[in-house]
């Protein structure tokens, strides 16, 4: 079973990355949009891997942080949360996701694509007492979690990406938004100013 991979990125898009290992073997891994924003074509990368094996096929999923892999592993154990949903959930930022779980913030989790009220409640119940929360809770980034919805985040990122701005730079600024900036009318001009 594959648990991590290291070497050169030879193909990269929003949902997958292909890595060429030192043994000249190519591996294609599923990723989420947030992971995509942290990767660069032709760069070397070290990724944690979840090797998903079923009766019909095998799939690999890549993560930059070990905690992301742990959360993904727990998510796909939950009834009706299949891998596509789990990957989408992790696009929320792991710290923000775990804050929402800790505070039983259903609305934040419901804002994720394919997640309804019942599934959001089930995710909170299943994950709120898991051990991985302890190590993530101490991260300095946790205090930076902002309150914009996932739909607003996606819309802003799409708009600015279409305007030619780098998705990685957009993500970084969105993550560090001041609390008083919380609607598109303020956020977009703020980001453009920061990127100028």
- Quick: pLDDT tens for 4-25: 888 899 999 988 999 998 888 9
Neighbours of 159 (CB within 10 A): 15
* Residues 14 and 47 both lie in one domain: yes
Picking from 63, 82, 108, the residue at the C-terminal end of a domain is: 63
β-strand pairing of 16-21 with 4-12: antiparallel
Tell me the C-alpha distance between 163 and 158, whole Å: 9
Picking from 20, 46, 63, the residue at the C-terminal end of a domain is: 63
- Inside any domain, residue 130: yes
Which of 46 and 133 is assigned the larger pLDDT? 46
* Amino acid 196: pLDDT: 81
* Residues 111 and 157 both lie in one domain: no
- Quick: pLDDT tens for 104-154: 888 888 888 889 999 999 999 999 888 765 455 444 444 444 556 666 777
What pTM, to 2 d.p., does this model score? 0.68
* Amino acid 150: pLDDT: 63
> Which pLDDT band holds residue 76 (cuts at 50, 70, 90)?
very high
- Inside any domain, residue 126: yes
The pLDDT of residue 183 is above 80? no
* Residues 123 and 105 both lie in one domain: yes
* Mean pLDDT, rounded, of the chain: 83
Smallest CA-to-CA distance from 40 within 68, 9, 63, 15 is with: 9
**Could you identify the residue written with the tokens 């789990």?**
86
* Amino acid 145: pLDDT: 47
* Amino acid 30: pLDDT: 94
- Domain housing 134: 66-140
3-state secondary structure 66-134: HHHHHHHHHHCCCCCCCHHHHHHHHCCCHHHHHHHHHCCCHHHHHCCCCCCHHHHHHHHHHHCCCCHHH
Tell me the C-alpha distance between 52 and 115, whole Å: 22
Report the CATH number at residue 98: 1.10.150.20
* Amino acid 99: pLDDT: 76
The pLDDT of residue 172 is above 90? no
Give how far the C-alpha of residue 176 lies from the chain's centroid of Cα atoms, to the nearest Å.
Answer: 16
Picking from 63, 88, 112, the residue at the C-terminal end of a domain is: 63
Q: Is the dihedral of CA 109, 100, 126, 58 positive or negative?
A: positive
**Percent of the chain at pLDDT above 90?**
32
């Amino acid at each position: 079973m594959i648990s991590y991979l290291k070497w050169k990125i030879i193909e990269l898009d929003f949902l997958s990355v292909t890595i060429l290992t030192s043994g000249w073997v190519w591996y294609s891994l599923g990723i989420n949009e947030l992971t995509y924003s942290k990767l660069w074509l032709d760069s070397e990368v070290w990724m944690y891997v979840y090797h998903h094996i079923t009766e019909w096929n095998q799939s690999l999923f890549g993560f930059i942080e070990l905690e992301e892999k742990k959360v993904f592993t727990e998510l796909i154990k939950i009834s009706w949360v299949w891998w596509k949903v789990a990957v989408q959930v992790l696009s929320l930022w792991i710290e923000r996701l775990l804050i929402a779980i800790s505070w039983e913030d259903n609305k934040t989790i419901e804002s994720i694509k394919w997640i309804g009220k019942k599934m959001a409640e089930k995710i909170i119940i299943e994950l709120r007492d898991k051990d991985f929360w302890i190590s993530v809770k101490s991260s300095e980034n946790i205090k930076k979690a902002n309150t914009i919805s996932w739909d607003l985040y996606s819309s802003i990122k799409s708009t600015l990406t279409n305007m030619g701005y780098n998705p990685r730079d957009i993500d970084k600024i969105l993550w560090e938004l001041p609390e008083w900036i919380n609607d598109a009318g303020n956020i977009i001009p703020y980001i453009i100013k920061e990127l100028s």
